[in-house]
Amino acid sequence: MIIVGVDGSVASRAAVEWAANDAFRMRVPLRIVHAVDRSPYQISKHPNPTMPDLLLREGHRILREAEALVRERQPAVEVETRDIEGAPAEVLREQAEDATEIVVGNRGLGGFSGVLVGSVSMHVAGHVHCPVVVIRGEHRPTYGEVVVGVDDSPECEPALVYAFEQAKLRGSALRVLHAWQLPVHAFAPEASYDLDEVRTAQHQAVRDRVALFSRDYPQVRLVEDVHCANPVDALTDASERADLLVVGSHGRGALGSMVLGSVSRGALHHARCPVAVVRA
């Protein structure tokens, strides 16, 4: 089941559309969730007694509109709605227990506000075990390409599998991007490095890792993309021409990292397309 968090914002509507399309492709049900967070209204010196009813009515309206959008765009998708009391991050963490993936908008108005800016999405992506997809509100053309960031560690493999599956379901090409940088001590005067040798070794490491999974996805056209560059910069550039960017949450390699808080955090803040964070 796919879980999508909604709050009535533009980005929330985009998240519902994305989740409905993904549920259709995966042939799984969709659950639309709205968090009723009373805490900001309970600390007032003179609390408004009518506020709880207003919050509930607004939540029901948001859920009705989101459900109508799903039935309009993907009528074959099985959809349900839930209005749940609690802080948005905690609500999503609880819902993640039976989720195939969680989808949220990058900026919200109420129950899921601040998603991109380090609050809800960062918390959820760092704590749940299913993929977390963060959607921007603007409409973009379809490019027919999924991009996945990989390094030279086995921890990036869940992200690679997810990216292969997304490319297969979409009929898209898969760009496997590995951006590597020389370690700090490589710039010491007494150190000697053959950049061509390092580049060749890194390219082979990516090929070996991808080969483990590509045989299961013969229909996916692969594009190997290896750069000596900052990983966040390389991923951001690739996202300009991608329908989805996939990153791991804490794959640690000898010459790179996929740690939420560095590369994944940078991708969430700077990527131009939807970003899926997949925990190892």
Instruction: List, for residues 179-235, the tens digit of each pLDDT value.
Output: 877 655 555 555 556 667 767 777 777 788 888 888 999 999 999 888 878 889 999
CA-based end-to-end distance of the chain: 20
243-266: average pLDDT: 66
Residue 127 has pLDDT above 60, yes or no: yes
pLDDT tens column, 70-109: 999 999 999 999 999 888 888 988 998 889 999 998 765 5
Q: 115 and 73 in one domain? A: yes
**Which residues form the domain of 155?**
145-278
Higher pLDDT, 280 or 166: 166
- Which of 135, 167, 200 delimits the end of a domain? 135
CATH number (domain holding residue 104) = 3.40.50.620
Could you tell me if residue 231 is inside a domain?
Answer: yes
In contact, 243 and 276? CB cutoff 8 Å:
no
Q: 240 and 221 in one domain? A: yes
Q: Could you give the number of structural domains in the chain?
A: 2
What is the per-residue pLDDT for 263? 83
- Which of 135, 156, 177 delimits the end of a domain? 135
CA distance 7 to 15: 10
Q: 202 and 124 in one domain? A: no
Mean pLDDT of the chain: 82
Q: 194 and 96 in one domain? A: no
The pTM for the full model equals 0.84
Q: 178 and 238 in one domain? A: yes
Give strand pairing partners of 4: 32, 103
Q: How confident is the model at residue 64 (pLDDT cuts 50, 70, 90)?
A: very high
Q: 162 and 115 in one domain? A: no
Could you tell me if residue 140 is inside a domain?
Answer: no
Q: 85 and 63 in one domain? A: yes
pLDDT tens column, 237-248: 999 999 999 998
Q: What share of the chain has pLDDT > 70, as a percent? A: 80
- Which of 78, 107, 135 delimits the end of a domain? 135
DSSP 214-228: HTT-TTSPEEEEEEE
Q: 18 and 62 in one domain? A: yes
